[in-house]
Amino acid sequence: MKIVIKKDKKIAARYVADQIIALLKEKPTSVLGLPTGSTPKGVYDALIESYKASEVSFSNAQSFNLDEYLGLEASHPQSYAYYMRKNLFDFVDFKATSTHIYKGDTHDAQKECTDYTNRIKAVNGIDFQLLGIGPNGHIGFNEPSDTFNMHSHVVTLSEKTRKANARFFNDLASVPKKAMTMGIGEIFSSKKIYLLALGKEKASIMAQFLLSDEIDPHLPASILHIHPELTVVMDKDAACSYQNA
Ligand code: GLP
């Protein structure tokens, strides 16, 4: 594991964006695994800036989003499909057919999950997976559990996750109770993984994750300890408990 600590959020985001840009230069057909939430926002801003400066193109790349709320259609402002359009896809040159995300309004979530796993397999897996981390150590929506769930699946969101994500909704009751997420297997089989953690709200979970190499499905991110190409990027705030330990 490589650990990179940057002075602030903006510098950390630019660092991650530059890794994506370097990969796309080397392999323009790269498959990117993308997260949502507040953490990747600065990375997407930096990618848009570089795209506008003609430093990067996504025209031959593909993307797979990590997860989506079950029950929200793509036009719902809190859906991750909407987030991706408003924060990245509307501003860069991905082909519309090259960006993949679970259909939140599907009537057959199991089938949607199986299809998604097969679509990832069909492109030979993800080259570069960017991850955020939930305050309970979840990655994608792989919640703490007694076992690791390997493939795309429907998940019942924990109260902690619903509360953490309620800030994007009018109230807690509006936060969906279920979601679809890539499994640990799909995430883990990515060739490179970048875990980005920003802000002091992530300090405690990052210390927990980094200070023990025990692999425990109750801290889903712990599986990443054995990934051969993991880079953890933090700003000083997210790194503070780890550094002071
Ligand atoms: C959500 C997403 C995760 C994300 C996490 C952290 O639950 N499903 O993919 O990494 O929350 O979000 P944030 O970056 O807003 O802290």
Whether residue 171 lies in the annotated active site: no
Query: Which atom in ligand 1 lies closest to the alpha carbon of residue 179?
Result: 8
What pLDDT is stored for residue 112 in this prediction? 98
Whether residue 100 lies in the annotated active site: no
Distances (CA, A) of 82 to 37, 102, 140, 229: 12, 12, 17, 30
Establish whether residue 165 lines the binding site of ligand 1, counting it when its CB lies within 6 angstroms of any ligand atom. Answer: yes
- The pLDDT tens digits of the residues spanning 162-221 come to 998 999 999 999 999 999 999 999 999 999 999 999 999 999 999 999 999 999 999 999
- Nearest alpha-carbon partner for 123 in 91, 86, 97, 148: 97
- The pLDDT tens digits of the residues spanning 29-66 come to 999 999 999 999 999 999 999 999 999 999 999 999 99
Matching residue, tokens 């530059």: 18
Please state at what angle helix 41-52 crosses helix 9-26, rounded to 10 degrees: 50
Establish whether residue 140 lines the binding site of ligand 1, counting it when its CB lies within 6 angstroms of any ligand atom. Answer: yes
Mean pLDDT value of segment 65-81:
97
Matching residue, tokens 């994500």: 165
Establish whether residue 220 lines the binding site of ligand 1, counting it when its CB lies within 6 angstroms of any ligand atom. Answer: no
Rounded to whole angstroms, how far apart are CA atoms 135 and 116?
26
Best substitution site from 39, 129, 233 to test ligand 1's pocket, by max atoms within 8 Å of Cβ? 39
Q: Is the pTM of this model over 0.85?
A: yes
Q: Which amino acid is at 64?
A: F
What pLDDT is stored for residue 52 in this prediction? 98
Strand order in the sheet with 178-181: 67-69, 178-181, 153-156
Establish whether residue 161 lines the binding site of ligand 1, counting it when its CB lies within 6 angstroms of any ligand atom. Answer: yes
